[in-house]
Amino acid sequence: MDRIDAMKVFVTAIDEGSLAGAARNLKRSPTAVSRALSFLEAHVGVELLHRTTRTLKLSEAGQRYAAACRRVLVDLEEADMLAGGERAAPRGTLTISAPPILGEEVLRPIVDDFLELHPTVSVRFLMLDRLVNLVDEGVDLTVRIGHLPDSSHVSTRLGGDVRRVVVASPRYLANHPRIVEPADLAKHQIVAFSNFGLDSWSFTPAKGSSIPRTVHFTPRCIVNSVRAAAASAAAGGGLTRLYSYHVASYVRDERLKIVLADAEHPPLPVHLLAPQGRMSVPKVRAFVDFATPRLRSEFANMAAAAGSLA
């Protein structure tokens, strides 16, 4: 059996989450999929997957091997594309990741229009509230909010920056101590969103100081969902901190009010990020060229809307 083909089956099984899903995706029988996985495990000499017909779970060795397989398959695809020449038509599966709300409301319509324009391309769209490892997870492009560390990845600045905001319902604010400076938050109930700090928030230095102000707290409620944090705050559960675009509709409808806007750190940049070398692959380059102007327009609109909220 061909080892590269077995690697493709292995990665597809992981992405689909089951042998049956991999069989459907690859248009093979479950028996053929199972045989390919058994071949790969026999070749490497360790168990890669704990599996049934319904579920799959990577072993510790399987996690390391899966990351290596993705790198090998990406490199092979890139080599094939480059051999076909720069004018080769975009084709194959494009893997994109983005934060959930941003992915659902901003990027998803762009992806839909791109797919309509390019019938030989399919998209694997991951909406995740965490940073992805582009190489190990086989991701071609990701939208990332925040300052980028030095790396070999290729970034495209998308323009309009994203503000963080602290919000609470008008009813909550009317019934609790006034908030004038960050230290006042210690007297309040906090709905903590896992990605924005579970026990502390940082603000700009006070006048005459160079040290950021950090407020420590014990949250009344911890959630791992943007929608849950915004809804809980709107229901009067306390203050929460999110990005301005997360709460824009709540603020416009006066269900939430922004506090401490003058104490927030400067807005964060937004980039479209790709692993080194992937920009030369036709499907990746085509999507970047197609999506970048639209994303820049969307983020410019968000920045303008955020400025009108405070």
pLDDT in tens, 232-248: 999 999 999 999 999 98
CA–CA dist 59, 63 (Å, integer): 6
Retrieve residue 149's tokens: 């560390």
Residue 276 has pLDDT above 70, yes or no: yes
Query: What is the pLDDT of the chain when averaged over all its residues?
Result: 88
Q: Look up the CATH superfamily of 164-263.
A: Periplasmic binding protein-like II (3.40.190.10)
pLDDT per position as a tens digit, 87-140: 578 888 899 999 999 999 999 999 999 999 999 999 999 998 888 888 878 899
Retrieve residue 212's tokens: 């950021």
Predicted pLDDT of residue 161: 78
Those residues whose C-beta lies under 8 Å from the C-beta of residue 132, and which sit 6 or more positions away, are: 97, 126, 139, 142
pLDDT confidence band for 44 (50 / 70 / 90): confident
pLDDT per position as a tens digit, 149-203: 767 788 999 976 789 999 999 999 999 999 999 999 999 999 999 889 899 999 9
The dotted CATH code for 92-157+268-308 is 3.40.190.10
Q: Which range is least confidently modeled, 152-156, 249-253, 255-259?
A: 152-156
CA–CA dist 75, 14 (Å, integer): 19
Residue 72 has pLDDT above 70, yes or no: yes
pLDDT confidence band for 304 (50 / 70 / 90): confident
User: Which ranges in the chain are annotated with CATH 1.10.10.10?
Assistant: 3-84
pLDDT confidence band for 272 (50 / 70 / 90): very high
Answer whether 63's CB lies under 8 Å from 39's CB: no
Predicted pLDDT of residue 53: 56
Helices 282-309 and 244-252 cross at an angle (nearest 10°) of 40
What mean pLDDT comes out for the span 51-68?
A: 80
Helices 3-16 and 19-26 cross at an angle (nearest 10°) of 120
User: Which ranges in the chain are annotated with CATH 3.40.190.10?
Assistant: 92-157+268-308, 164-263
Predicted pLDDT of residue 24: 86
Q: Is 200 helix (H, G, I), strand (E, B) or coil?
A: strand
pLDDT per position as a tens digit, 102-117: 999 999 999 999 999 9
Predicted pLDDT of residue 295: 93
CA–CA dist 63, 83 (Å, integer): 31
Torsion of CA 188, 190, 196, 202, to 10 degrees: 10
Predicted pLDDT of residue 151: 72
The dotted CATH code for 3-84 is 1.10.10.10
